[in-house]
Every structure is written in C-alpha cells, then in structure tokens.
A and B are shown apart, each in its own frame.
Chain A
Amino acid sequence: MTVGPVTPSTETPSADEPAAVEGRSLGRIAWARLRRDRVALDGGITVLLLILVAALAPLINRVFGHPVNEYHQDRIDPNLGGIPPVGTWGGISSEFLLGVQPVTGRDLFSQILYGAQTSLLIAFAATVLAVVIGIVVGVSAGFFGGWLDSLFSRFMDLILAFPLILFAIALISVLPPTRAFRTAVMIVVIGGFSWPYIGRIVRGQTLSLREREFVESARSIGAGNVRIIVKELLPNLAAPILVYATLIIPTNILFEAALSFLGVGVPPPTPSWGRLLSDAVQYYEYDPTYMVVPGMAIFVTVLAFNLFGDGLRDALDPKANR
C-alpha cells in the first residue's frame, strides 16, 4: 500500500466523497474517513484511555488500589497451602478489584496499573527510537541513492535476518540487571530491531517522491538537499510514518511482554504484564484469574493499537475507496 503525498490535486474523488474533495487536505479527508470507522475509533479511544491510565497510575491507585508491593497475606487461603487467594475468581472483591497475587496477596489491580506504565513507556520510547533511526536511514538511502542506498538496504536486511528474540534475550542477559539500565537496554534493543520496518517504508516513499515535480521545482529555485528533505519530503512522509509507527507500537508491546515473560524484562519489583504472566504459570491451575487478568491487559492494549493503526492506514490511504 502506498500513502500518497499531501497534494490535493492527486486526490481522486471516490463514490462516497462527493464534490467537496477539492482543496481539502489529506489530514481532513483522513479524519472524515476515520470518524466513520467505528471500530478504529473505539480502538483510538481505548488507546487514549490506556495512555491516561498509565500516566495517572499513582492517582488512580490511591483511590482504587493498594501500594504496589504491599503484602496482604490475610487474603491468602491458609488451608490450601498458603497459595491461592481467599474467595472465588482470584480474590476479586470491592477492595481488590482484580483480585490478589497468589502467595503474597499483593493487589493485582495496582500491578496491572503500574504494569501499563512499564509496558507503554518501553513500547513508546522504543517506537520513537525506531522512527528516528528509520527516518534518518530511510531518507538518506532513498534520497541519495547509490552506494549509500546499497549499504543501508543491506544493513536493514541484516537486522531483519537476526533471530530477534533469541538475540535480544542473549544480549540482555549478559548485561547488569539494574532497573534503569535494563529499561534503557530494552528500549534500545526493541527500537534497534524494529526500525528497519519504518526504514524500508520511508526509503521506498522517498525513492518515488524525489522524482516528483515539486522536488524539482524546489531545486530549480535553489533549495539545497537539507531544505528539500526537511521542507518537501518530510511533510509528505508524515502520513506513512504515522501509520507504521502506530502499527509497530503493538508489536513492541508484545516484544516487551515476551522479554518479561522469558525473565529478561525489567527486574522485580517493577510491575510488568509479561512477568505477571510468567509468574502465573506456576499457579494457573489453582488460580486462573491471576493468569487471565494480565493476559487480557496485554490483549486489549495490543488489539486497541492494532484496530486504531489499521483504521488510520485505511483513512490515510488515498487509494482506498471504501
């Protein structure tokens, strides 16, 4: 799929986009389309809510939760080996909205809440990193061509040929596991492996854009390479970059959760959805709620981003005639 440049003249009016198309920017057309896409909108709203929840986690937790690492062993059933929580459904009650962790009795709601912070922080930061590297490499490769293009393209092939998770866990495991350092390493590793997806798209778009008349006309009035890239190319690349950035966020969330699941994520006691799930492996026969809750958190978050990203792509695609 291709997302065309922001020149209104290239927009072809489709059946459900009557006469008014002329003069509207791609952004406005996209918004009009997105507004009619209920599923994508629901995804977008969920995404916004999730970001809000993650940002306001301490506040929300003060009202509805308990301190993250506070033990509530009175909530654990002593008759069953001190493992599963008291009550059905993993100890869900008005006091513990999502139940408690087996053995320790920590509030699962608080864990999920702060887990959202961990997950979104790492996924967003990694995505920003991927987008920045992707733009720099993709634009340079596409715009300057020649040996630089070959070099960068081969480099992207190389990264995509790496056994991703394997390499990531191996690399992370040999580095010291302090919280800040591990977080930084995870961002670098996840971002460092996902930028070629952006890079390839940007390169392809740049290749076709640089031959367009408006680039030539800019050059004819004396614009230099930097000015052409910043003023002419980047605005036209914004749409595909936005779409693909939205679509690699869920992949990065899954990647973070997978690393945490495998035991090389952010170290405890920092809450993480992936680690909750891997912890639940020992208990899920007796306490399935403890496994289902973080699993659903990951699923809902990833699905929301995917729905929104998919809708955004359809909305920004001038070729789509839905």
Chain B
Amino acid sequence: MTHYIIRRVLTSAVLMIIISMVTFGVFFMVPKLAGTNPAELYVGKQATPADVAATARKLGLDQPVTVQYARFAKGLVAGRDLDDGPNRTHCAAPCFGYSFRNDRPVWPLLLDRLPVTVSLAVGAAVLWLAGGVLAGVVSALRRGGPLDRTMMVLALAGVSLPVYFTGLLAQLVFVHTLHWLPGGEYVNLADDPAGWAAKLLLGWVTLALLYAAAYARLTRAQMLETVGEDYIRTARAKGLRERTVIGKHVMRSVLTPLVTIFGLDIGGLLGGAILTESVFGLPGIGRLSIDAVNTKDLPVVLGVTLFGALFIVLANFIVDLLYAVIDPRVRLG
C-alpha cells in the first residue's frame, strides 16, 4: 500500500508539473504568435513604450520562456520578488503570479473566492449524490417498468439542460416572479447562515439537477451490468436476502465508477463552477476567472487555471487511494 501511495504521489506531481508547463507555455507563447506584446496587456492603453518596457522588465517578460517558467515555478514554491527598479513587490509563496489590475498577488485573490466555490460545490454534491444514486438504484430495480422509463427520460433531459438555461429559468420563477428567494449579493456563512443558504439554494439545485441526471444513468447502467455477474447469482444461490445482495454485493461494484466520476466532478467544480457562478452572480473562483478574462488580467487567468488543475489532479489522487480501499485488486496492479 505504501508503495502504491508513493507511486501515485509521484505520478500526480509529474502530471501537475506538466500541466503547469503547458499552461504557462500557452499563455506566454500564444500572444506572441498572435502578434501582441503581453506587457501591453498589463499596462493601460495610454501607456508609453517606456511603461511597457518597464512592465515587461518587472514581469520578466523580456526573458526567454524557459527562464520565465523557472521563475514562476520558484515563486510557487518559495515566493519571488517582482522588481522594476524603485518599486519592489514581494509575492509570498505560493506565488501564483501577481495581478497588476488588482495590484495584489493572485494567491490571496484565490483564497478570497474559495469559500464561495466550496459552498456551492459541496452543497450541490450532497444533493446530486443522494438524488442521483437513489434514482439510479430505484430505476435499476424497476427495470423496464414505467417508473424506470420516466426516470431515464427525465435523466436524459436533465443532462441535456445547460445550467445557464435552468439557472436563469429558476431565477425568473423563484426570485423575480414568486419572490420566494432573495436576489441580492452573496453573504458569508458566518455572517448570515440563512441568507447564505437562500442565495446558494438555486445554485445547488440547478447544479445538482445536471449531475444527478448523469449519476442516475451511470448508477443504473452499472447496477444492471453487475446484477448479471456470476458472483451475484452465487450470492443469491447462497440464500442471501435480496437486500443484502443489492446493498452489499451489487453496490460495492457500483461504487467504483461512481467514485471515479465523483472525484473528477468535484475536483472540476472546486476549480471554479464558472457557468453556475456567472448565472447566479456568485463571487467564486469561476467568476474571478471570467472577470480576469474580460479585463485581460493574464496572471489571474493563469493562476486560476493552475489552481483548477491542482484540484483535478488532487481529486484524481484521492480517487486512486479510495480505489485501493474499495477494490483490493487495484493495489496489485
């Protein structure tokens, strides 16, 4: 097991390094190929060539991409100084870059937004896991019946509905027409728990609807496949109660693909639920990245992308560990 963990840690680290290289490369090569000077993006439109040159120097944009990456990587681990002569700016580790639009390092910007995204993702995850898996199990047990058919058509409709449509519809009905829920700004959980939940409720439900539909389909398909296996017949032949057969033997094999997908989904969401956050006006990480894209604040965009990748890699790592717990065969592989 220790061996397995060490190997997975190494793979994840390598994956993260490659992702950071690719992302960094893309962000610093592409503007050049497209014929724009990245330094011009950081300073305003009225900037003089001298300002541009100074910014380029401060950011190290006049250096080759390899040097720039090395500095960036060092900043992530040990922090870095951004130097443009008289003004020295220190960016403490983990330095995800420095936002000149906000005049702040990217890392605290990310930390500011993280609670919103976590609130949204975790709340939705609880709902969709409970709803999706339950619907899938019930559907599989009633296979071919009217309940199963209705549920699967609903699930297919659910995965076909984009959050930016359901989200707007939900807001139209519950916020603007019925006035059951407040519009307003996001409030912190600590300041006003009821207001926090009321503001997030529609986001949770909309997001959960989409994922629950996918989870219901997956659970049902996996259950139906497992029920046909020999060991399930054996379990029944031994005289086990149906509840034990389904609850213990079938569910155990349904769990593996669910854990995989769940890891990827939650990892992806924590890196910023861009669409949901922009529909509901939630100031999370996704919102941060969209704002950064619109203001061409490249260091923030880069920082958020890497931060998002970090979550996905981390989630993959945890999933692999869980695998080894759920399915002992994995450890041997």
Q: Footprint of B on A, CB under 8 Å?
A: 1, 39, 157-158, 160-167, 169-171, 173-176, 250, 254, 257-258, 261-264, 274, 277-278, 280-281, 284-285, 288, 291-292, 295, 298-299, 302-303, 306-307, 310, 322
Contact = CB atoms under 8 A, between A and B. Distances in A.
A1 B221 contact: yes
Contacts of B35: 176
B30 A166 contact: no
B308 interface: yes
B160 A163 contact: no
Nearest to B153: A39
B275 A165 contact: yes
A163 B275 contact: no
Given A174-B31, A250-B160, A262-B275, A163 B309 contact: yes
B168 A158 contact: no
Nearest to B14: A154
Interface in B8-54: 15, 18-19, 22-23, 26-27, 30-31, 34-36
Contact of B309 (A161, A262, A277, A285): A161
Nearest to B159: A306
B168 A161 contact: no
Dominant secondary structure at the A interface: helix
Contact of A173 (B156, B159, B169, B296): B296
Interface string B276-309: 0011000000100110011010100110110011
A161 B16 CA distance: 9
B186 interface: no
Question: How extensive is the interface on chain B, given as a class?
Answer: 35 or more
B164 A258 contact: yes
A280 B172 CA distance: 12
Nearest to B12: A161
Instruction: Determine which residue in A157, A166, A295, A303 has the highest number of CB atoms from chain B within 10 A of its CB, and name it.
Output: A166
Interface of B: 15, 18-19, 22-23, 26-27, 30-31, 34-36, 144, 153, 156-157, 159-162, 164-165, 168-169, 171-172, 176, 221, 225, 264, 268, 271-272, 274-275, 278-279, 286, 289-290, 293-294, 296, 298, 301-302, 304-305, 308-309, 311-313, 316
Contacts of A306: 156, 159-160
A169 B157 CA distance: 26
B168 A163 contact: no
Instruction: Determine which residue in A174, A257, A261, A284 has the highest number of CB atoms from chain B within 10 A of its CB, and name it.
Output: A174
B34 A176 contact: yes
Nearest to A277: B164
B157 A303 contact: yes
Contacts of B169: 291-292, 295
Given A39-B153, A163-B309, A284 B161 contact: no
B135 to A, nearest CB: 17
Given A163-B271, A174-B34, A291-B172, A262 B290 contact: yes
Contacts of B316: 161
A278 B221 CA distance: 35
B23 A167 contact: yes
B304 A261 contact: no
A158 B15 contact: yes
Contacts of B278: 261-262
A170 B176 CA distance: 33
A173 B301 contact: yes
Instruction: Determine which residue in A170, A173, A281 has the highest number of CB atoms from chain B within 10 A of its CB, and name it.
Output: A170
A181 B21 CA distance: 25
A161 B309 CA distance: 7
Nearest to A173: B293
Given A39-B153, A284-B172, A303-B157, A166 B304 contact: yes
A262 B278 CA distance: 8
Nearest to B163: A258
Contacts of B279: 281
A276 B305 CA distance: 27
B179 to A, nearest CB: 12
Given A166-B272, A295-B169, A161 B293 contact: no
A135 to B, nearest CB: 24
Given A158-B18, A263-B294, A163 B26 contact: no
Instruction: Determine which residue in B286, B294, B305 has the highest number of CB atoms from chain A within 10 A of its CB, and name it.
Output: B305
A170 B305 contact: yes
Given A163-B311, A307-B156, 8 more contacts: A163-B312, A170-B27, A257-B162, A262-B278, A263-B290, A284-B168, A284-B172, A299-B157
13 contacts: A166-B271, A166-B286, A169-B289, A174-B31, A174-B36, A281-B168, A284-B176, A285-B172, A285-B176, A288-B172, A298-B162, A299-B162, A310-B156
Listed from nearest, the 3 A-B pairs whose CB atoms lie closest are A163-B308, A295-B165, A303-B160
B146 to A, nearest CB: 14
